[in-house]
Amino acid sequence: MPHELPKSYEPGAIETRWAEYWIREKLFSVPTPPEGETRPVFTLLLPPPNVTGRLHMGHMLNQTQMDIIVRWHRMRGFITLWLPGTDHAGIATQMMVERQLAKEGKKRRDLGREKFIERVWEWKKLYGGAILDQMKRLGASVDWDREYFTMDENLSRAVREVFVRLYEEGLIYRGKYIVNWCPRCETAISDLEVKHEEVAGKLWEIRYPVIGTNEFITVATTRPETMLGDTAIAVNAKDDRYTHLHGKKVLLPLMNREIPIITDELAQPEFGTGAVKVTPAHDPNDFQAGKRHHLPQIDVMDEHAHMNQNAGPYAGLDRYEARKQILADLQAHGFLVGEKDHTLALGKCDRCGTVVEPRLSEQWFIKIKPLADRAIEAVESGEITIVPDNYRQIYLNWMNNIYDWCISRQLWWGHRIPAWTCDNCKEVTVAREAPVKCPKCGSTKLEQVSDVLDTWFSSGLLPFTTLGWPEKTRDQAVFYPTTLLITAYEILFFWVARMIMFGCHFMEGHQQDPAIKKASGWADKKNDSVPFRQVYIHALVRDADRQKMSKTKGNVIDPLEIIERFGTDATRFTLAAMAAPGTDIAFSESRTDGYRAFANKIWNAARFMFMNVDRIGFVWNRVSDPVKPGQGPDDSSGAGVSSFNPQTLEDRWILSRFNRVTAEVNDALATYRFHEAANRIYDFFWGEFCDWYLELIKPRLNFEEGADKTQAEISCGNLVSLFDASLRLLHPVMPFITEEIWHAIYEGKPPLKSIALAPYPQPDERQYDLNAETEMAILQDLIVNVRNLRAELKVEPKIKVPIDLFAPDAAIRAMIQQNRGAVERLGQVDKITFVENSLVRLAGARSTARFDVHVLYERKIDVAAECGRLTKDLEKLEKEFANNQRQLSNEQFLAKAPEKVVEGLRRRAEELTLLRDKIKHQLEELNRTGPK
């Protein structure tokens, strides 16, 4: 039966089919391994996208890298669990539903809390799975049977348990503090959720009359509307300018309220006038100063950033309208001294872009230092490795300067804080389940606190709550700690740091299954409480001009549009090939188009192979056994090129090159050098396999009707075996095309359900052949030089030409003689003549360290052009020779460098000397003889 592979490669057609097949067959579902399991385990948690989300290039990069690593481990025999899920995204989701209600002319308060929450669940059911559907289309090899949502009942129960335990341990408290308040979202937000933008603003100078004198104290502010809440003026005790005013009072302009002059370090003599206004309810530094001096806290704004009753005549005005009116009144009463241009860092809500207002508010906080200390130790001790290494120090710097975490949010959608207030005695009860009566006074009139928890509180628990915590489960013994986290820098503190803090605290004393831990390579790790062993921080995806993508710039690239045009495999390969650790990606459609051509090249190579397999009638007996239980990453049996019977130089060469490339790819993936892995595969598959090996074996695949076809069958077997192994090598990066061709190799009846379950190639050093690689390099060099000479001489492609060849080394002459058929066919040569003398003086000849070649073709040589070319070549050689000699004359380098490296440099010095001399001779000959 002939092998079926359509003439043209259409990625859209095959990708949808295989994506659906992988899910239908549950290929990536992982049942809980039983006691006694000894295989290594690889676990990775998908950073849960917001339920409101749509796939963007950041997701695409993140998921491509995760899928590559996951598929690589699975094919190497690891029990591989990739956990998918979505985050309830408190603020973002509530905003989406509120916008929907606004179109109906309603607000959430019109519905009430219960009905609004029902409406959110309806929205989530209709739209919340969009990003996961997109992931399925992309073929992400996650375990969909374990998919979670952060508001699932089991996870919600775990969240309540964590809150109660922290409260009982004295690590959660409630208090009035200055928080970042978003008037649009009507909730407190954390420091991490505030974006600071430099904007051109104003600095206003206002003078406050000192009571009982004719003096004024002048202060400067960027927020004059907050002066209505001033409760003091601060000066520095060491500032001689104000010593005589210590203990006096000033009259607050416009409000006619007496406020004291206090001495405090808040005021610095070298800044401005040395005097500052103190507004404890509207500034975090002022709040602390107010506590030190027992100042009243006067809040002059409501939750919508409108002035409240404490603002006197300005009550009801929006903060910016109030600012205008206050400045006008200050001017009218002679209190406004001046106005200056001033650049300020304006804090805005990361979610909606509204300017954040520092506001005094009663909130719930985590006392963070005890948790942070252990999280710092986990990274400093090497229990957790962060890659690239520079992010390790960034993490530690932030953790060492961390503040208590405000975990309450004034929202309706989210995990409601498990605390109840007694209507009778105001006692607050924190409990796992709703209490029936107040434990203090016995009243049954209890009302649950309306606040919900910060979204990052629940997502910070996911590494262990998704594995069944608070119960102790077999899943935890097997899969915790997770192996790796791949994520973006922007959530290093939002999410990564919090997972480390929570994991180290709540999983303290946990022990991973010893046999699995040892098999997985973590036997040297003493502590299993950490949420993951390694963190890899991936780069940003920018546009082709390295500009950050934004809607305002109009340069946002939609990955789904790119996939539609070029295919998922080409898009994935682009991101992998450009993903050098620590370097942002300048995404280029031209690169993606090039990798679409790469996929097409592989497709056409497969069709060529199938054409010959069917013509010869070859039957391949290779069986790709799955990676067996007990077989781990160090057992490479059956994982490389099997059934390969090398007959010729090109066979030995390609087998050696495949094994070396396999070693390089495995090494690159082990250290997250995705770009190196992708580029090594690309160079091998396109350059060495398709452009050279396929061309070299074509004569052996051809045989006359009725003739012995043994050699053709051997060549065909080698070709299929090598193609099978190369597809497995490529599969983690380009899963769809490799699955399609791999199934076609087995005529739709493969030994396994998927190439994703076949063993990943491992290098076999026994198949390394340095001699074959060296000889093939010489042969390729000869053919390329002949082709270049033909091009320069403008020889018609169909015309074959004779060449003269000078090769002083007898072994090289013999090798070329043995492979002259390849030179003649690939170089369009009709005759090779070995000559006894160097051809270096002949115009139009080519010289290398091992041979000179001259194409015999009558055509006028452009002497000037030839001299120019040779001069450029000579300059390159001179530069390389200078660098070479610099290294060989460096005693420190020679003392430290491996002997092989030094010997290689010396050999290269000899080659460079020979090549320089040859080019100089050619230039002399050209200059002597002149135009031909």
Q: Are 853 and 839 in contact (CB under 8 A)?
A: yes
Q: How far apart are CA 112 and CA 894, in angstroms?
A: 78
467-511 per-position pLDDT tens digit: 999 999 999 999 999 999 999 888 899 899 999 999 999 999 999
User: What letter represents residue 312's amino acid?
Assistant: G
Instruction: For residues 619 and 737, state if they share a domain.
Output: yes
Indicate whether 357 pLDDT > 80: yes
* pLDDT of 913 strictly over 90: no
Q: What number is the average pLDDT over the span 926-931? A: 68
Domain boundary among 450, 475, 494: 450
Q: Do 714 and 845 belong together in one domain?
A: no
We report the CATH number of the domain holding residue 485 as 3.40.50.620
pLDDT band at 679 (very low <50, low <70, confident <90, very high): very high
- Residue 228 domain-assigned (yes or no): yes
Task: State the pairing for strand pair 829-834/846-847.
Answer: unpaired
543-577 pLDDT, tens per residue?
777 777 665 566 777 888 999 999 999 999 999 99
Q: 661: which residues sit within 8 A by CB, 6+ positions away?
A: 680, 681, 683, 684, 729
pLDDT band at residue 622 under the 50/70/90 scheme: low
The number of domains in the chain is: 5
Q: Are 163 and 460 in contact (CB under 8 A)?
A: no
> What does the block give as tokens for 198?
């430099």
Distance between CA 251 and CA 211 in Å, rounded? Answer: 6
Of 749, 768, 787, which residue sits at a domain end? 768
Question: What pLDDT is attached to residue 794?
Answer: 87
Per-residue exposure over 543-579, b if at least 16 CB sit within 10 Å of its own CB, e if not: beeeeebeeeeeeebebbebbeebbbbbbbbbbbbbb
Whole-number pLDDT of residue 628: 44
pLDDT at 639: 67
Mean pLDDT value of segment 240-250 = 94
H helices present in 578-693, as ranges: 589-616, 649-670, 674-682
What pLDDT, on a 0 to 100 scale, did the predictor assign at position 641? 80
Examine residue 408 and state whether it is found in any structural domain, yes or no.
Answer: no
List pLDDT tens digits, range 784-835.
Answer: 999 999 998 889 988 999 999 999 999 999 999 999 999 999 999 999 999 9
**What percent of the chain is helix, strand and coil (3-state, nearest 5)?**
45, 15, 35
The tokens of 296 are what?
């009243």
What's the mean pLDDT in 840-865? 83
Does residue 306 surpass a pLDDT of 90? yes
How much is the pLDDT for 552? 57
- State residue 502's pLDDT score: 98
How far is 47 from 509, CA to CA, in rounded Å?
A: 25
In terms of domains, do 698 and 725 share one? yes
Q: What are phi and psi of 441, to 5 degrees?
A: -115, -10
**Same-domain check for residues 750 and 636:** yes
Within a domain: 400? no
Specify if 166 maps to a domain: no
Distance CA 622, CA 642 (A): 7
Same domain, 445 and 502: no
**Residue 389: band (very low, low, confident or very high) from pLDDT cuts 50, 70, 90:** very high
Over range 231-243, report the average pLDDT.
Answer: 94
Cβ neighbours of residue 402 under 8 Å, at least 6 residues apart? 368, 369, 372
Do 639 and 731 fall into the same domain?
yes
Let me know whether 421 and 486 are in one domain.
no
Q: How far apart are the first and last CA of the chain?
A: 61
Are 898 and 925 members of one domain?
Answer: yes
Angle between helices 674-682 and 568-577 (to 10 degrees): 120
Least confidently predicted of 16-20, 647-651, 882-886: 882-886
Query: How sure is the predictor about 860, in pLDDT bands with cuts at 50, 70 and 90?
Result: low
* Residue 809, domain extent: 797-929
Helices 57-75 and 674-682, interaxial angle, to 10°? 70
Binned at pLDDT 50, 70 and 90, residue 929 comes out as: low
Residue range 695-716, pLDDT digits in tens: 999 999 987 776 778 889 999 9
Q: How far are the Cα atoms of 155, 204, 237, 316, 504 from residue 262, in angstroms, in the given order?
A: 51, 22, 9, 31, 45
Q: Give 685's pLDDT tier (boundaries 50, 70, 90).
A: very high
What is the pLDDT at residue 92?
A: 85
Task: Assign residue 328 the CATH number of its domain.
Answer: 3.90.740.10
Confirm whether 377 is domain-assigned.
Answer: no
Does a structural domain hold residue 167? no
Q: What pLDDT, in 10s, does the model give residues 390-446?
A: 999 999 999 999 989 999 998 999 999 999 999 999 999 999 999 999 999 999 999
Q: Are residues 756 and 821 in the same domain?
A: no
Specify whether 472 is located in the same domain as 521: yes
Q: Residue 550's pLDDT is what?
A: 61
Q: What is the distance between the alpha carbons of residues 214 and 313, in angstroms, rounded to a whole number?
A: 27
- The answer on 140 and 72 residing in a single domain is yes
Cβ atoms < 10 Å from Cβ of 101: 16
CATH number at residue 653: 1.10.730.10
* DSSP assigned state of 311: G
Based on the fold, state whether residues 426 and 484 are members of the same structural domain: no
Whether residue 19 is contained in a domain is answered as no
Report the pLDDT averaged over residues 117-130.
88
On whether residue 385 sits in a domain, the answer given is: no
Mean pLDDT for 570-590 is 88
**For residues 36-40, average pLDDT:** 94
Looking at every residue in the chain, the average pLDDT score rounds to 91
Residue whose C-alpha is closest to residue 718's, from 701, 743, 730, 733: 701
| Boundary residue ending a domain (425, 450, 475) | 450
Read off the pLDDT of each residue in 751-772 and give the average, rounded to a whole number: 95
Whole-number pLDDT of residue 382 = 94
Which of these, 541, 701, 729, 774, lies nearest to 624 by C-alpha position? 729
At residue 859, does pLDDT exceed 70?
A: no
Q: Which of 187-196, 548-557, 629-638 has the highest mean pLDDT?
A: 187-196
For the cut 80, the answer to whether the pLDDT of residue 915 exceeds it is yes
